[in-house]
């Protein structure tokens, strides 16, 4: 979203970079829905729809003011709408980061406690850091509503990048194999977030000229476009949900709680010995159901 170059005459590239990623997000939402991936990533679907619709509405307001001088959409109204959009975007982004983390840790119950602990420690620390960063940024030359939006953006990217950095480090340290789509979402969010943190940092701490602001806007819009393309690539190359997934069937062993994180030190209770012959009656029934379901799926494919 171009922040400070609103209501200025712009090139075709500027219009493209504002509109295309948001059209891409709506397209992404349709593809996610058609591929039944919304069951696994409901927040990502919501994020794509809300972000796409809200940003296109803001774009429409800007066009309407610029071309038709519509009295409905004054610059003050536009900035207020943008601020509300920012607040919603921040909430959705943090929910999306939570969704990514839960997907990354879902197959590994041994790490669920450590993951939660990491969020509990890192989250408040990042909020404090963001507050400090905003407090230390140079006074804005813009009116209060614009200055507040810019500060909120800066704080948002500090927390977002910090969280993603922690998740990436956590996954790298433990050599976790992420799900394809969860990784793609994190990658897009990470690339866009880190570049935008850099541009907002420059913006908030240096005296940038109008020309430089325009360039930073282009960088932000370009990286937004890149992240949408990354998401599209990962959504399109992740295998479609099977009938079994659509019916809500969990693959055998996936929701096993034999591996609960019951130890805090180096010793185990040792009661979770599992070999193939130790299957409980419940597991056997689940297995029969899965086999039955697979046969049903094969029958439907014929």
Partner 1 sequence: MTLVILIAAAVATLALAAGLGVSRALRSASKPDLEAQLEPIDIAAFRNLIDPAEDEYLRRHLSAAQFRVTQRSRLRARAAYVRVASRNAAVLIRMGQTALAASDASANHHVREAALRLVNDALRLRRNAGFALLRIYADMVWPNRSTATAGILDRYQRVSDSAMLLGRLRNPGTAVRVTAG
Residue ranges that bind partner 1, judged by CB under 8 A = 107-111, 114, 133, 136-137, 158, 161-162, 164-165, 168-169, 171-178, 183, 186-187, 190-191, 193-195, 197-198, 201-202, 205-206, 251-253, 256, 258-259, 261, 263, 265-268, 274-276, 287
Least distance to partner 1 from the beta carbon of 198, Å? 4
Q: How far is the CB of 227 from partner 1 (least distance, A)?
A: 10
Q: HEC states along the chain? A: CCCCCCCCCCCHHHHHHHHHHHHHHHHHHHHHHHCCHHHCCHHHHHHHHHHHHHHHHHHHHHHHHHHHCCCCCCHHHHHHHHHHHHHHHHHHHHHHHHHHHHHHHCCCHHHHHHHHHHHHHHHHHHHHHHHHHHHHCCCCCCCHHHHHHHHHHHHHHHHHHHHHHHHHHHHHHHCCCCCHHHHHHHHHHHHHHHHHHHHHHHHHHCCCCHHHHHHHHHHHHHHHHHHHHHHHHHHHHCCCCCHHHHCCCCCCCCCCCCCCCCCCCCCCCCCCCCCHHHCCHHHHHHHHHHHHHHHHHHHHHC
> Considering beta carbons, is residue 74 or 255 the nearer one to partner 1?
255
Of residues 66 and 108, the one with the C-beta less far from partner 1: 108
Question: Closest separation between CB of residue 78 and partner 1, Å?
Answer: 27
Cβ at position 76, least distance to partner 1 in Å: 29
Comparison of 45 and 164: residue with beta carbon closer to partner 1: 164
> Of 32 and 186, which has the nearer Cβ to partner 1?
186
Minimal distance in Å, beta carbon 35 to partner 1?
Answer: 19
Which CB atom, from 76 or from 110, has the smaller least distance to partner 1? 110
């Amino acid at each position: 979203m171009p922040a400070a170059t609103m209501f200025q005459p712009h090139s075709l590239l500027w219009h493209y970079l504002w509109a295309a990623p948001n059209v891409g997000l709506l397209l992404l939402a349709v593809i996610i829905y058609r591929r039944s991936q919304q069951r696994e990533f409901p927040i990502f679907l919501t994020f794509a729809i809300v972000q796409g619709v809200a940003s296109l509405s803001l774009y429409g307001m800007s066009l309407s003011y610029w071309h038709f001088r519509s009295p409905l959409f004054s610059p003050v109204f536009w900035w207020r709408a943008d601020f509300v959009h920012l607040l919603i975007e921040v909430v959705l982004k943090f929910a999306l980061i939570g969704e990514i983390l839960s997907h990354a840790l879902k197959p590994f119950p041994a790490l669920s406690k450590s993951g939660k602990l990491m969020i509990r420690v890192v989250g408040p620390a990042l909020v404090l850091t963001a507050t400090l960063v905003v407090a230390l940024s140079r006074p804005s030359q813009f009116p209060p509503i614009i200055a507040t939006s810019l500060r909120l953006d800066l704080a948002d990217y500090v927390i977002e990048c910090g969280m993603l950095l922690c998740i990436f480090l956590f996954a790298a340290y433990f050599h976790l194999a992420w799900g394809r789509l969860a990784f793609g979402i994190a990658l897009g969010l990470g690339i866009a977030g880190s570049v935008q943190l850099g541009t907002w940092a420059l913006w908030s701490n240096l005296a940038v000229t109008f020309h430089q602001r325009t360039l930073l806007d282009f960088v932000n819009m370009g990286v937004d476009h890149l992240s949408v393309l990354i998401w599209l690539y990962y959504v399109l190359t992740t295998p479609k949900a099977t009938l079994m997934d659509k019916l809500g069937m969990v693959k055998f062993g996936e929701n096993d709680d034999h591996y609960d994180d019951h130890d805090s030190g180096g010793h185990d209770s040792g009661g979770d010995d599992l070999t193939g012959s130790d299957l409980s009656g419940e597991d056997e029934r689940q297995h029969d159901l899965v086999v039955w379901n697979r046969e049903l799926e094969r029958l439907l494919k014929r």
